[in-house]
């Protein structure tokens, strides 16, 4: 019996994943539109710009006939593991007194990988055999090939690498497909983001600084009693001041900064 293959595209609202959608709109991917599902997993911690972008693109995609699924632990708890059900990421960290450390991507696993996997299993109707009937399209651009995991090449597909599309070409494709220009995405408090990106997010949204401070205060740090932003040596407010000074001096300066920053009004 011939099994109809189903394709699932993880969409984060950023440049790469939106450029993958653009590839499909521009017919660069040989996948019938009815076999494709676009999935957005909402961690509850995306920046305001990302939510605005997602909300502006969804109507365009729906009009073109795309199937879009939004997964979140409150409205679709069945696709999350029991202890995550009902909790967005910031709430979970706050209530469970957890802290995120870089490299341990438990957040990504619980709020993105698992829900997508559970959804595929249910949607394909193949449960344990879902990998046979499904393909997971990942939006790793050709200029970041090292991020493409080596195992399971059959199940995970990397169309941007296959088509040699890097971030800059991706932006052109987004434009050509008639979609609004995408930007960098990620949780506002992501400990993995570069310093400059964190600084920009906090400068645009001073309230996020307060929210990270609340998380700092709530966390059970077993190593020290001083609240500090995830893995940093200083609390987030002090760290922001440090980044502020660094920004004023230029990001390329690596030597120790004189920590006499401008006062921050938040």
Give the footprint of ligand SF4 on this chain (CB under 6 A). 43, 45, 100, 105, 107-108, 111, 186-187, 190, 192
Least distance (Å) from ligand SF4 to the CB of residue 181? 20
Cβ atoms of 37 and 4 closer than 8 Å: no
Residue with smaller CB distance to ligand SF4, 12 or 29: 12
Q: Which two tokens stand for residue 141?
A: 């651009």
Residue entry with tokens 């922001």: 240
Length of the chain: 266
Whichever of 16 and 43 has its CB closer to ligand SF4, that residue is 43
Q: Which is nearer to ligand SF4, 192 or 245 (CB)?
A: 192
Q: Kindly give the residue spans of alpha helices, DSSP state H, lying in the chain.
A: 15-25, 48-64, 89-96, 106-108, 114-124, 130-133, 159-162, 167-176, 195-204, 206-218, 236-249
Query: What minimum distance in Å lies between the beta carbon of 111 and ligand SF4?
Result: 6
Strand partners, 137: 9, 157
Q: Which CB atom, from 116 or from 257, has the smaller least distance to ligand SF4? A: 116
Segment 29-33 long-range contacts (CB within 8 Å, at least 24 positions apart): 29/137, 29/159, 31/7, 33/64, 33/65, 33/66
Burial 50-77 (b: 16+ CB within 10 A, else e): beebbeebbeebeeeebebbebbbeebb
In the complex with ligand SF4, the residue whose CB is nearer, 26 or 192, is 192
Q: Which is nearer to ligand SF4, 66 or 240 (CB)?
A: 240
CB of 190 to ligand SF4, least distance (A): 3
Work out how close the CB of 13 gets to ligand SF4 at its nearest, in angstroms, rounded to a whole number: 11
CA dist., res. 211 & res. 155, Å (int): 38
> Residue 93 Cβ, how far from ligand SF4 at the closest point, in Å?
9
State the minimum distance, in angstroms, from the CB of residue 222 to ligand SF4.
20
């Amino acid at each position: 019996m011939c099994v109809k293959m189903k394709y699932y595209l993880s969409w984060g609202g950023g440049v790469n994943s939106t450029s993958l959608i653009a590839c499909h709109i521009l017919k660069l991917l040989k996948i019938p539109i009815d076999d494709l599902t676009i999935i957005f997993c909402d961690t509850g911690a995306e920046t305001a710009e990302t939510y605005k972008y997602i909300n502006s693109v969804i109507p365009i995609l729906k009009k073109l006939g795309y199937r879009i699924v939004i997964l979140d632990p409150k409205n679709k708890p069945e696709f999350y593991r029991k202890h995550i059900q009902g909790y967005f990421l910031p709430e979970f960290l706050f209530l469970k007194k957890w802290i995120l450390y870089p490299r341990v991507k438990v957040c990504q696993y619980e709020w993105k990988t698992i829900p997508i996997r559970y959804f595929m299993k249910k949607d394909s109707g193949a449960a344990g055999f879902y990998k046979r009937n499904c393909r997971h399209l990942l939006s790793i651009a050709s200029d970041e090939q090292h991020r493409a995991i080596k195992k399971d090449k059959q199940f995970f597909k990397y169309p941007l690498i296959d088509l040699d599309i890097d971030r800059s070409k991706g932006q052109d494709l987004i434009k050509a497909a008639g979609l609004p220009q995408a930007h960098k995405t990620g949780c506002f408090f992501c400990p993995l983001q570069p310093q400059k990106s964190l600084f920009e997010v906090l400068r645009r949204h001073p309230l996020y600084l307060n929210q990270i401070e609340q998380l700092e205060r709530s966390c059970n740090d077993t190593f020290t009693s001083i609240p500090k932003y995830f893995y940093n040596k200083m609390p987030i407010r002090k760290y922001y001041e440090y980044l502020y000074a660094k920004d004023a001096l230029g990001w390329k300066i690596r030597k120790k900064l004189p920590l006499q920053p401008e006062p921050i009004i938040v």
